[in-house]
Amino acid sequence: MTPQRTFTAPTKHTSLNRTARLRLKPGAVAQGGRLDGAWWPHSGDLGSELPDLLAVLSVRLGRIDRVLYNVAEWPNAPTKLATGGRRVRLDGYRRQPANTVEIVGLDRARVVLLTVPADTDPAEAHCALRTAARLSDRSTALDILIAAQHAD
């Protein structure tokens, strides 16, 4: 499990340009490998999407140290990102569960999010966001995405 690429993505903006499409379980803390919520990025460019997401999650996690992602889903992601006044490590792994990102704070607190693909139909995406944010939901990322496709 070695991270890919060794370049740093410059921060493309210094303030929130777009609202992070994010839903979190109340008081989300990773439990048993399940999801703490869901994130629907605007594009397939992890380096440009993360600053807004990390700005929101830093309220819950404090300073962010690392982001773990599935390298097959974000093949051109940088290994470091300058954001929030510091560098955040981006680690792509083949074994990271599909359709998830894991954000780790400096104190090792973490949030595991379902990542809804950017090109998902809006109705399906909103269904997946709502489901993943339900406190009682213990579904896998794949189960949530499949159920969202079949929701009315």
pLDDT in tens, 35-85: 999 999 999 999 999 999 999 999 989 999 999 999 999 999 999 999 878
Q: Is 121 exposed, middle or buried (0-12, 13-18, 19+ CB in 10 A)?
A: exposed
The range of the structural domain enclosing residue 126 comes to 8-149
Total tally of structural domains belonging to the chain: 1
| Residue 1, in any domain of the structure | no
Q: Are strands 64-70 and 100-105 parallel, antiparallel or unpaired?
A: antiparallel
**What's the pLDDT at 86?**
86
Give tens-digit pLDDT for 21-38.
999 998 755 555 489 999
Mean per-residue pLDDT for 81-92?
91
- Record the pTM: 0.84
| Residue 130, in any domain of the structure | yes
Phi and psi torsions of 105, nearest 5°: -85, 170
